[in-house]
Chains A and B, each alone.
Chain A
C-alpha cells in the first residue's frame, strides 16, 4: 500500500486513523488536534478559571498521565493561569501501589508538578490491610470501593484544593451510560454523564468541607484509543496494571460491548456519550434541562464512574478484580457478610446482590438508589423516575442520599471493634521501611517539582 498523506498538512505520512471521523493524520498533526480538542472541551465548558488550583487525580496509568501531560501543555500554550498539582491515593495494600506510585513520582518530575500521596490511613484512619485484618478477607472490597469514591475529594479538601480533574475518557463515559441504561438507572445516568460534578455551594458554608470540591473530566470526549496513541507518540511514561478486565464482570461486558461497537463503527462511542447526555436532559428534576450548559452543579456523591478504581484517575473495571486478588479469596462469603452488615443499618437494600450477580461492592452502591425488590418472575412495575434527594452526611458532611454516608457507616463499624492495643502503630513502622523510604501510603509526602 502506498503511504497515505496526512489530511491536514498534506505532506507527512499519515499514521493515525481517527475513530471519530476517519480522518488520517500524521503524528504532529494528530498531537496538535488532540490537544486542541481538549482545549475546546475546557473552554466551552468553562472548566477552569484563572488562579484556580487544580488537583489531577493521578494513578500513573495512561489516562491520568495523558491528562497531566496535556494540561501542562495547554496551561502553558493558552495561559490558563491555573496551578496544577498531582494527587494520588494509596489504599495501603502492601505492594499493590508500588509500581504505579513510582510512575506518578516520575511524572511529577517530568511535568514539574508537586505531588501529594495520601493514604487511606490518613483519610480514614485505616489502611486497607488493616481493614482486612479487622474484617477478614470477606467484604473488604466494599470498604475499598466506598472509601475510594470519597478519597480524592477528602484528599483535595485537605490540601485546600477546590477542583479535582480525573482522566475519565469517552469510553468510560459510554460504558457508564450503557451500564446505567441496562440497569434502568436514569438518575445515575444523568449524574455520571455530566462533565462537571460538584456539590451545590449552598450545601456547605465550611470552606474546608470536601463537599465543596468540584470534579471534572477534561478527557470526556477523548477516545481511549487516541489517549493510548497520544501517550505512544509522545513517548509518555505510564504504568499498566496487571489486570485485564474479567469477562464475567458486568462492567467488563459493557466494556467489551463498547470495544466491539468501536470495531464495527468507531463513531459509536461518542454517539453513546451524546445519547447519554440527551437522555440525562429528560430525567425529571435534572439540572441538565437547560441543555447541559448550565449544569455545572450536578451532585457527585458516591457516584460510580468508570469502575471501582476510578477515583484515582481512571481504571478499567478489572483493577478491582486485581485488588480482590490481593485482598480477598472468597467473594461469595464477602457478599453474605456484607448483607448482614448493611441490613443492620436499616437503610440499604443489599438483597439484590444475589440476583444481580454483582459484587458486594456494587450492591452497596445500588443500595442508595430507588430499586424495587421485585424478583425475576414478576413483571416490572412502572417506576417513577425521580431525582435522588441529596443531603449531607451528618458525620462528615459528604454529599449523601442517606443521613450517614456509606464511608461513615463502615468506619463506625470498624472503629467500634478497633483493638485497643498498638498493633496499628507497629504496622505503620514496618510498612514505612517497606516502600523505598520515600512514601508509605500512611503519611502524606510532598515531592517538590524539580
Chain B
C-alpha cells in the first residue's frame, strides 16, 4: 500500500481543474513519481512540485498563467488532500507518498 516505488521518488497524484487543465494538454489527473529530493537535496515540497510541473510537464508556453513571481498565480487555489494549502504550510508543505494535490483555477470564465 506504500506509494513509494523506491527511495528516490515519491508517488503523488496531481489534478487540474477549473480550466487549468487546458494548460496541461487537457490532462485533468496525473500520477507522478516526483524526485523525493529537490535540486538542493531538501525534501520535495509544493514549491518544488510547481517548478517540476513547469519544467517537465507543462508544454504550454504561457507559464505565467500558472506561476507568477515564483509562486502559484493568485487566483489559482491549491488543495492538499482536499485541504486549503494555507492550512498546510502553503508551498513549504513537504510531499508524502499518495498525496493528492489539486490546482483549481478561479480565473476562467463561465
Contact B77 A229 (CB under 8 A): yes
- Choose among B18, B77, B87, B107 the residue that contacts A255 (Cβ–Cβ < 8 A): B107
- Contact of A100 with B110 at beta-carbon distance under 8 Å, contacts A15-B82, A232-B104 already known: yes
User: Which B-chain residue is minimally distant from A244 (CB atoms)?
Assistant: B65
| B88 within 8 A of partner (CB) | yes
Tell me, in angstroms, the Cα distance from A241 to B73 when the chains sit together.
18
Residues of B within 8 A of A100 (CB): 110
- Contact of A15 with B87 at beta-carbon distance under 8 Å, contacts A62-B18, A263-B74 already known: yes
Chain B nearest CB, measured from A91 CB (Å): 13
Q: Mark A52-67, 1 if CB is under 8 A from B, else 0.
A: 0000000111111100
Interface centre among B86, B93, B107 (most CB of A within 10 A): B107
> Which one of A31-39, A284-292, A314-322 is at the B interface?
A314-322
Q: Mark B87-110, 1 if CB is under 8 A from A, else 0.
A: 111000100000000101111111
| A262 within 8 A of partner (CB) | yes
Residues 42 to 91 of chain B near chain A (Cβ within 8 Å): 62, 64-65, 73-75, 77, 79, 82-84, 86-89
Contact B110 A259 (CB under 8 A): no
| B19 within 8 A of partner (CB) | yes
Tell me, in angstroms, the Cα distance from A15 to B88 when the chains sit together.
10
Tell me, in angstroms, the Cα distance from A318 to B62 when the chains sit together.
15
Residues of B within 8 A of A65 (CB): 110
Tell me, in angstroms, the Cα distance from A241 to B77 when the chains sit together.
17
| A438 within 8 A of partner (CB) | no
Contact A14 B18 (CB under 8 A): no
- Contact of A14 with B83 at beta-carbon distance under 8 Å, contacts A225-B77, A228-B77, A244-B19 already known: yes
Residues of A within 8 A of B64 (CB): 247
Residues of A within 8 A of B110 (CB): 59-65, 100, 238-241, 313-316
Tell me, in angstroms, the Cα distance from A98 to B83 when the chains sit together.
33
Contact B106 A228 (CB under 8 A): yes
| B30 within 8 A of partner (CB) | no
Contact A316 B83 (CB under 8 A): no
- Choose among B73, B79, B107 the residue that contacts A232 (Cβ–Cβ < 8 A): B79
Chain B nearest CB, measured from A20 CB (Å): 14
- Choose among B77, B86, B87, B108 the residue that contacts A244 (Cβ–Cβ < 8 A): B108
- Choose among B22, B74, B77 the residue that contacts A256 (Cβ–Cβ < 8 A): B74
Contact B87 A24 (CB under 8 A): yes
| A274 within 8 A of partner (CB) | no
Chain B nearest CB, measured from A254 CB (Å): 13
| A303 within 8 A of partner (CB) | no
Contact A14 B74 (CB under 8 A): no
Contact B75 A240 (CB under 8 A): no
Chain B nearest CB, measured from A310 CB (Å): 10
Chain A nearest CB, measured from B17 CB (Å): 8
Q: Mark A285-326, 1 if CB is under 8 A from B, else 0.
A: 000000000000000000000000100011110110010000
Tell me, in angstroms, the Cα distance from A247 to B107 when the chains sit together.
12
| A13 within 8 A of partner (CB) | yes
Interface centre among A14, A244, A319 (most CB of B within 10 A): A244
Contact B83 A13 (CB under 8 A): yes
| A249 within 8 A of partner (CB) | no
Contact A309 B83 (CB under 8 A): no
Contact B87 A228 (CB under 8 A): no
Tell me, in angstroms, the Cα distance from A62 to B87 when the chains sit together.
24
Chain B nearest CB, measured from A173 CB (Å): 15
A-B contact pairs, 13 of them (CB 8 A): A15-B87, A62-B18, A65-B110, A228-B106, A229-B84, A240-B22, A240-B109, A242-B108, A244-B19, A244-B62, A255-B75, A256-B75, A259-B74
Apart from the given pairs A171-B106, A240-B19, 17 other A-B contacts in the complex at a CB distance below 8 Å: A1-B88, A15-B79, A59-B110, A61-B109, A62-B106, A62-B110, A65-B110, A225-B77, A225-B106, A229-B84, A239-B110, A240-B18, A240-B108, A241-B108, A244-B65, A247-B64, A259-B107
Task: List B residues at the A interface (Cβ < 8 Å).
Answer: 17-19, 22, 62, 64-65, 73-75, 77, 79, 82-84, 86-89, 93, 102, 104-110
Ranked 5 nearest A-B pairs via Cβ: A61-B110, A240-B19, A315-B109, A319-B109, A259-B74
